[in-house]
Amino acid sequence: EVQLVQSGAEVKKPGESLKISCKGSGYSFTNYWIGWVRQMPGKGLEWMGVIYPDDSRTTYSPSFQGQVTFSADKSVSTAYLQWSTLKSSDTAMYYCAISEKEAAGRGDLWGQGTLVTVSS
Amino acid sequence: DIVMTQSPDSLAVSLGERATINCKSSQSVLYSSNNKNYLAWYQQKPGQPPKLLIYWASTRESGVPDRFSGSGSGTDFTLTISSLQAEDVAVYYCQQYYSTPKDFGPGTRVDIK
């Protein structure tokens, strides 16, 4: 069974750093794009960007470029989303999703989401 | 950037009746080299991640009931639920995956009348 399992909820303070994860199983991890999507409380879906785990190519939405960093570790079939300096406006649910090579950025299968709360 | 819009913002339909959601992109998402529209539809129920329903504008994802169908090309697209069921209450999003940023529409909430 193809699955994406994301790390658990996080509560952080403004200014702190954070790295959340998305572990793939049941498919060839290096042959599918992994994308990240933000959903702020009560709001719609925002596309953040994608990473191709085979060679760690990344594409960021201009809205998120420089604000977050994507990475992937093929040895453990896990992708990561990282912040160096969190802000309260980063409070949101974050989803990872995979897509086939021809359709980078589409969400073919989604993780369960990681809720990030940033509050002083 | 390609801007995605959806209409209506919300709709309420009686059980068994048809629901129609429209999605418009500010630029064509039809890739001429393969004649594919880079347009997907998702369903999101409360407390759940989105679920892919339709891709390439009209291809139904495996396991999705055939009451869901997608149509359109270029800049104008439609998601149709032919006979609304109680379990279809959700927010529906379109997304273009033609060019970065691969943004979603604002969503359409579907309820039972």
B33-60 tens-digit pLDDT: 999 999 999 999 999 999 999 999 999 9
As a whole number of angstroms, the distance between CA B27 and CA B25 comes to: 5
Q: Say if the Cβ atoms of B100 and A61 lie within 8 Å.
A: yes
CB of A63 within 8 Å of a chain B CB? The answer is: yes
**Which pLDDT belongs to residue B43?**
98
Those residues with Cβ within 8 angstroms of residue B105's Cβ, 6 or more apart along the chain or in another chain = A44, B4, B5, B6, B23, B93, B94, B95
**Which pLDDT belongs to residue A50?**
98
Q: Say if the Cβ atoms of A47 and B106 lie within 8 Å.
A: no
CB of A111 within 8 Å of a chain B CB? The answer is: yes
- Closest CA of chain A from B52, distance in Å: 6
Segment B82-101 mean pLDDT: 98
Segment B73-101 mean pLDDT: 98
**Which pLDDT belongs to residue A8?**
98
**Which pLDDT belongs to residue B6?**
98
Q: What whole-number percentage of chain B has pLDDT above 70? A: 100
A45 contacts on B by Cβ (under 8 Å): 42, 44, 50, 93, 95, 104, 107
Model confidence pLDDT, tens digit, residues A43-94: 999 999 999 999 999 999 999 999 999 999 999 999 999 999 999 999 999 9
A103 contacts on B by Cβ (under 8 Å): 38, 55, 97
- Average pLDDT score over chain B: 98
Token pair in block for residue B51: 């679920």
Grade residue A101 by pLDDT with cuts at 50, 70 and 90.
very high
Segment B12-16 mean pLDDT: 98
